Amino acid sequence: MSIQISKLDSSQVDFKKSLDALLAFEASTDEAIERAVAGILADVKARGDAAVLEYTNRFDRIPDGGAASMAAFDIGTAELQAALAAIPAAQRSALETAAQRIRAFHERQKQELQGFRYTEADGTVLGQVITPLDRVGIYVPGGKAAYPSSVLMNAIPAHVAGVQEIIMVVPTPDGVKNQMVLAAAAIAGVTRVITIGGAQAVGALAYGTETITPVDKIVGPGNAYVAAAKRRVFGIVGIDMIAGPSEILIICDGTTDPDWVAMDLFSQAEHDELAQSILLCPDADYIAKVEASINKLLPAMPRADVIRTSLTDRGALIKVADMAEACAIANAIAAEHLEISAEDPQRWADQIRHAGAMFLGRYSSESLGDYCCGPNHVLPTSRTARFSSPLGVYDFQKRSSLIHVSEVGAQALGKVAAELAYGEGLQAHARSAELRLK
């Protein structure tokens, strides 16, 4: 049975409406989850380790009647190194190559942001100082969705930023540890690994417990409980974006092997049923070829059911007037991943204002970027690329302003400040400036 994927045409009168309907996605709030998470967080805040221990033993079904103390959840350096030694050589080599490339790219981000300082004619010095966060928590999901690549992508930017303590939490349902995840932690510069998860792990990182020092920021993906917990502790600690379903948008000029484009659409669709894969192309014949490739290649995919549902419910093949219109639509979509599979892709990339990551040319499949090109795979989803950025070193740094006014400078600035302060009715502000006048 061939797949029923939406086909749109930008020349249709109702195209904008159809596109809006296709893109519409609102994360629902589950009140039961909200209440459960609020309770767990309050309990962890009040009872610390005892609460974390109980929830972990229960929710993760820790064997042998559960762990007796939090110490049982700490994975020492020796165990991480053992995991690295135990995984197949090809996997280890791939992880190390990926880590080295991710590190190299993120070092460039660090170089770009050095702060600045300048001195004005009257001796006043102004500037901006960049400092790393002290302590960061990395949340890594357990079970099937445990991705070693996510360990690298979340921990390496923190390590490059100069964060001194990188605490990784990863639940181990039924006590089962993922060796590739532990190996990735060994490579990525993680300081401490604790096998806890869920809202209780988020609470422990945010509030601290007897055995866990509170962190300054929590990053990394998680299920609905983890996302709800992160939202609730935001403000006490920093958090990264709460990610929505993953998306790929491919702009193709009709000259790439259609099998490649079909497989690139699959690579997003296989993540989950809500993932979104869209093709924009000015060539109707080529779109038909991609559709034929989809139907040809799908049966052999191990995750065919997920791919089929994702493409049927949320995918689309869209005929556009020309490549310029494709770029305009791409700007409206502001996709997480944007492939520009075309001759002279830079020409079209120059017209893109909003995208999490741009993959230029036929050889830049999104999957290369997901694992080992170097740029981060944690990217803004659900049109948030309009206002936010990939995860980066800058997420583990912050700026402080530096103001050193000279005695001469205080004379000129003091009069300006006093004038404005009186205008706003803030007399102590004005007097504070005036006291420095001769």
Q: x/- string (CB under 8 A) for its own copies, residues 29-68? A: ----------------------------------------
Among 24, 32, 71, 435, binds its own copies (CB under 8 A): 435
Looking at the Cβ atoms of 63 and 123, the one nearer to its own copies is 123
Q: How far is the CB of 30 from its own copies (least distance, A)?
A: 16
Compute how many residues bind its own copies; rule: CB under 8 A. 124
403 binds its own copies (CB under 8 A): yes
Q: x/- string (CB under 8 A) for its own copies, residues 189-228? A: ---------------------------xx-----------
410 binds its own copies (CB under 8 A): yes
- Which residues from 258-297 bind its own copies, rule CB under 8 A? 259-260, 263-264, 266-267, 269-271
Q: How far is the CB of 283 from its own copies (least distance, A)?
A: 20
List, by residue number, the catalytic residues. Answer: 336-337
Q: What is the 3-state secondary structure (H, E, C) of the chain?
A: CCCCCEEEECCCCCHHHHHHHHHCCCCCCCHHHHHHHHHHHHHHHHHCHHHHHHHHHHHCCCCCCCCCCHHHHEECHHHHHHHHHHCCHHHHHHHHHHHHHHHHHHHHHHHHCCCEEEECCCCCEEEEEEEECCEEEEECCCHHHCCHHHHHHHHHHHHHHCCCEEEEECCCHHHCCCHHHHHHHHHHCCCEEECCCHHHHHHHHHHCCCCCCCCCEEECCCCHHHHHHHHHHECCEEECCCCCCCEEEEEECCCCCHHHHHHHHHHHHCCCCCCEEEEEECCHHHHHHHHHHHHHHHHHCCCHHHHHHHHHHHCEEEECCCHHHHHHHHHHHCCCEEEEECCCHHHHHCCCCCCCEEEECCCCCHHHHHHCCCCCCCCCCCCHHHCCCCCCHHHHEEEEEEEECCHHHHHHHHHHHHHHHHHCCCHHHHHHHHCCCC
Q: x/- string (CB under 8 A) for its own copies, residues 310-329? A: --------------------
- Which residues from 95-134 bind its own copies, rule CB under 8 A? 95, 97-98, 105, 108-109, 111-116, 118, 124-126, 128-129, 131, 133-134
159 binds its own copies (CB under 8 A): no
438 binds its own copies (CB under 8 A): no
Q: How far is the CB of 169 from its own copies (least distance, A)?
A: 18
Looking at the Cβ atoms of 32 and 111, the one nearer to its own copies is 111
The binding site for substrate comprises 246, 268, 271, 337, 370, 424, 429
